[in-house]
Structure 1
Amino acid sequence: MTGEPLPFPREPAEPAPGAVHLPDWLDAAEQRALVEACRDWARPPAGMRTVRMPTGGHMSVSTVCLGWHWYPYGYARTVVDGDGAPVKPFPPQLGALARRALAAAYGPDGLAAVPGAAGYEPDIAVVNHYPHGARMGLHKDKEERVDAPVVSLSIGDGCVFRLGNTETRTRPWTDLELRSGDLFVFGGPARFAYHGVVKTLPGTADPALGLVGRLNITVRQSGLV
């Protein structure tokens, strides 16, 4: 795979109720702008770090948080497991982008039907950088205190994304390929589904991005005050 556009467009899909995949949702200029923004966000203080899990192991991705700082397993206003600096503010432009994403994914009827979608007020972004060989085990995003949807944007190398069920880390699950510019939203019945990244697909990013590996930006509403 070269990262060049395929001759046939990929179609939007709903792999589970409340989960929507919109391929190529971000155009090339939007992707480049987000790469540059992520570079700024990654700088210290409160910059990108490798997360140490309670078991003692380290995640294979590097992470920077905006608005609220995520750590295993909670949120704080400072980087409690790093340099202790105040977390960087949540950018209003990400909030506007996430609301536009929900409108595109669900449409007017869906926004009214999916809990937390119509009045979406995100205040957290978790940015993960996947170097070659990185992965993410199946997990739930459950530290938030509301069930508003999660908006996920992919930039750079593609990946095999696994969407599981809400009960266990075992089957049934659905594997799908996420590529640069793709939007994935999960809310409603899928909001607390297990999910993860089985593998990245090195060399599939557009070289014009100037990015090695994969960036994933997830936008969330915390319900915290």
Structure 2
Amino acid sequence: MTDGLFPVRRERAEVAPGAVHVPGWLSLERQRELVEACREWARGPVPMRHTVLPGGGVMSVRTVCLGWHWRPYRYSRTADDVNGAPVAPFPGRLADLGRAALVAAYGDGDGDGYDGDGYDGAYAPDTALINFYEAGARMGMHQDKEERSGAPVVSLSIGDSCVFRFGNTVTRGRPYTDVELVSGDLFVFGGASRFAYHGVPKVRPGTADPTVGMASGRLNITLRETGLTG
């Protein structure tokens, strides 16, 4: 799963303070389960769609949301920019998966919150953004900052591998680090890196393992705490 741009090593790595890459975290069975679940979620009540940006541009990835509906640059309980339907509920099993992900990334916790040193057990994600990348799709450098909570973002990759560009909290440009994410990988960013710019400049078509249930394309599931009520 490399073309010479990345080292062969596939070990847990702290890319930046509070930003941790855990290769191969999802089992093959769990990946298959998530692929089937994503297919169901993509059918609605709010279908997977290409998000329209405020300036009129259209995102190349397709997105469906759970718990809260995301649109640039806010959350709502109804998909007013799609079909007006209430967003599908956020499953408790995804919250459990998010808590397990933080333990894998940060350890069992030392009670000092989400500073990249530990996990204090209070993580309560209430929304999932599920992005599907077809061949040629990409994601520009951006911050995840619509949330009122500073809890970490949990990112899961299934299907085709990609170049994940993880930057700094000040600018979309350098310095940044390019990380190869392959099917089953976990990436968590919180603490000092919670509001770092990040994006996906390239997906590698044809690198998906068909045994996960996807012939092509990349699924990215991100779990977040919104800090919102109502």
For 2:217, which of 205, 213, 220 is the aligned residue?
A: 213
The match for 2:14 is: 14
Q: Distance in 2 between matches of 1:110 and 1:136?
A: 34
Contact kept? 1:103, 1:111, Cα under 8 Å: no
Q: Aligned ranges for residues 1-225 of structure 1 at < 5 Å?
A: 10-109=10-109, 112-114=112-114, 117-118=119-120, 119-211=122-214, 212-225=216-229
How much identity, in percent, do the aligned residues show? 64
Query: Structure 2 counterpart of 1:25, which letter?
Result: W
Deviations 1:126-170 (A, max 9, x none): 000000110000000000001000000000000000000000111
Contact kept? 1:98, 1:219, Cα under 8 Å: yes
Structure 1 alignment gaps of length 5 or more? 3-7
Contact kept? 1:158, 1:177, Cα under 8 Å: yes
The match for 1:5 is: none
Q: Distance in 2 between matches of 1:215 and 1:111?
A: 33
Q: Distance in 2 between matches of 1:154 and 1:107?
A: 21
Contact kept? 1:117, 1:149, Cα under 8 Å: no
Deviations 1:21-51 (A, max 9, x none): 0000001000000000000000032121110
Relative to the length of structure 1, the TM-score reads: 0.94
1:117: how far off?
Answer: 4.5
- Report SS of the residue matched to 1:112: coil
Across the aligned residues of Structure 1 and Structure 2, the Cα RMSD in angstroms comes to 1.6
Q: Distance in 2 between matches of 1:198 and 1:161?
A: 7
Structure 2 alignment gaps of length 5 or more? 3-7
1:9: how far off?
Answer: 6.4
Query: Structure 2 counterpart of 1:49, which letter?
Result: R
Q: Distance in 1 between matches of 2:110 and 2:84?
A: 40
Contact kept? 2:164, 2:198, Cα under 8 Å: yes
Relative to the length of structure 2, the TM-score reads: 0.92
Query: Structure 1 counterpart of 2:174, which letter?
Result: R
1:67: how far off?
Answer: 0.2
Q: Distance in 2 between matches of 1:110 and 1:142?
A: 26
1:111: how far off?
Answer: 6.2
Q: Structure 1 residues 10, 59: closer, same or farther in 2, change over 3 A?
A: same
4+ residue runs over 6 A deviation = none
